[in-house]
Chains A and B, each alone.
Chain A
């Protein structure tokens, strides 16, 4: 809960704020972000597992990419839920990887559909998933920036 504005010394004001804002990213909007990441981790893992189990030979590259995307979503989900500086860095790395992944794979799948005959989560900038894979890393970076450890 937010403390009321006490009339204390002006110098303690910024110091007062710091301990209240703990080094976590799993409250407020972060909870929604983690929930959406968890859904994507789940669906990407299931999809990649299914693809690799049943039709890996048809398009190994696309299916390895699916598995990679699944790992990125799992790492992002777990790291966002954890407190501390190290987990912040892990989150940042995962979200940046996700952003680069969706942009690169999205662009390649657009210009060279033959290289990606099988859809992955990131194909066509995540069109098969309502473009959420494209929006998610951007929201993730905004949230991480807001909750940057001092």
Chain B
């Protein structure tokens, strides 16, 4: 597991906990929960840029390259989709939708790390 994974682990878990707490407090999605999910997206963008740089520098990944990039691209679509889906209906339940992003990104980052190393 590398730094990218731990960054997603921390940001993802913080985001998930924030969104679950907000949902339990019967709040609709607000700036803190939406930005926490966008923070997950930001870390994924950093992961993407970092990975492109590593490949450009000649680093070889152990697993299938297209599988890694597939995971990364799909992972980057999930936070955006969830935010869109959540602001269409701003109820407490949308915060639970946002809460799913962090853990999903975490699982996908773990798999991406497995593919790379």
- Tell me the A residues contacting B by CB distance below 8 Å: 27-32, 35-36, 38-39, 42, 46, 50
**B100/A28 in contact, CB under 8 A:** no
The 9 A-B residue pairs whose C-beta atoms are closest, nearest first, are: A35-B97, A32-B96, A28-B93, A31-B93, A32-B93, A32-B97, A29-B93, A31-B97, A35-B100
Interface centre among A28, A32, A36, by most B CB within 10 Å? A32
Give the Cβ gap from A80 to chain B, nearest Cβ, in Å. 13
Task: Decide yes or no: A28 and B91 within 8 Å by CB, A35-B100, A39-B104 being known contacts.
Answer: yes
For B86, what are the chain A residues with a Cβ–Cβ distance below 8 Å? 31
For A28, what are the chain B residues with a Cβ–Cβ distance below 8 Å? 91, 93
Closest to B94 in A: A31
Closest to B86 in A: A31
**B100/A39 in contact, CB under 8 A:** yes
Give the Cβ gap from A46 to chain B, nearest Cβ, in Å. 7
B70 close to A (CB within 8 Å): yes
For B81, what are the chain A residues with a Cβ–Cβ distance below 8 Å? 38
Give the Cβ gap from B82 to chain A, nearest Cβ, in Å. 7
B67 close to A (CB within 8 Å): yes
For B100, what are the chain A residues with a Cβ–Cβ distance below 8 Å? 32, 35-36, 39
Q: How many A-B residue pairs have CB under 8 A?
A: 32
Chief secondary structure at chain B's binding surface: helix
Interface bracket on B: 10 to 19
**A31/B85 in contact, CB under 8 A:** yes
For A31, what are the chain B residues with a Cβ–Cβ distance below 8 Å? 85-86, 89, 91, 93-94, 97
Give the Cβ gap from A89 to chain B, nearest Cβ, in Å. 24
Give the Cβ gap from B114 to chain A, nearest Cβ, in Å. 13
Give the Cβ gap from A13 to chain B, nearest Cβ, in Å. 25
Closest to A28 in B: B93
Closest to B99 in A: A32
CA distance A39 to B85 in the complex (A): 13
**B70/A46 in contact, CB under 8 A:** yes
Instruction: Show 9 residue pairs from A and B whose CB-CB distance is below 8 angstroms, ordered by the A residue.
Output: A28-B91, A28-B93, A29-B96, A30-B93, A31-B93, A32-B97, A36-B100, A39-B104, A46-B70
CA distance A124 to B82 in the complex (A): 29
Interface centre among B67, B91, B93, B94, by most A CB within 10 Å? B93
For B70, what are the chain A residues with a Cβ–Cβ distance below 8 Å? 46
Give the Cβ gap from B40 to chain A, nearest Cβ, in Å. 14
